[in-house]
Amino acid sequence: MSSIYKSGAFAQQCFSAHRETLFFRKIGPPAEVIMDCSSCEMEHRLSVLQFSSTLPQAIENAFEHLTNCITGHSSSLRVSAMDVVRDHVGARCTQCNRSFDLEIGAIETLR
Ligand SMILES: [Zn+2]
Ligand SMILES: [Zn+2]
């Protein structure tokens, strides 16, 4: 049986300890982003309030673009920032050369 923890602490810990094994796996309706950590075999579910992307230049459809990255080439997408106190997660796609900012409403961790 898996347990659910309604806290961002586990995601923060994964990012701090082994961000190289933390990947975006799924983006799904309407604004949920799922990350996997292969080091601790935990799944982090982010409820996202707002998607934005301003680098290298601002775009309107950050959600659609990030969806394409996650479904098309998720191995190029890295977690670049994680600050659960400020409800912020950053993502960087090396294939598109684009950075994303996610404003987080809630994080749940399943293990
Ligand atoms: Zn981990
Ligand atoms: Zn991309």
The full set of domain ranges for the chain reads 4-110
Coil, strand or helix at 69 = helix
Centre of ligand 2 from the C-alpha of residue 88, in Å? 19
**Nearest-ligand number for the alpha carbon of 14:** 1
pLDDT score for 26: 96
Count Cα neighbours of 88 within 13 Å in the Cβ-side half-sphere.
9
User: For strand 77-83 and strand 88-93, is the pairing parallel, antiparallel, or unpaired?
Assistant: antiparallel
- What averages of pLDDT result for each successive group of 10 residues across the chain (111 residues)? 90 96 91 95 96 96 96 96 97 98 96 88
pTM: 0.93
> How far apart are the C-alpha atoms of 66 and 51, rounded to whole Å?
9
Centre of ligand 2 from the C-alpha of residue 20, in Å? 17
Q: Which of 28, 55, 51, 42 is nearest to 108 (CA)?
A: 42
What residues have a C-beta under 5 A from ligand 2, the ion? 69, 93, 95-96
pLDDT score for 1: 62
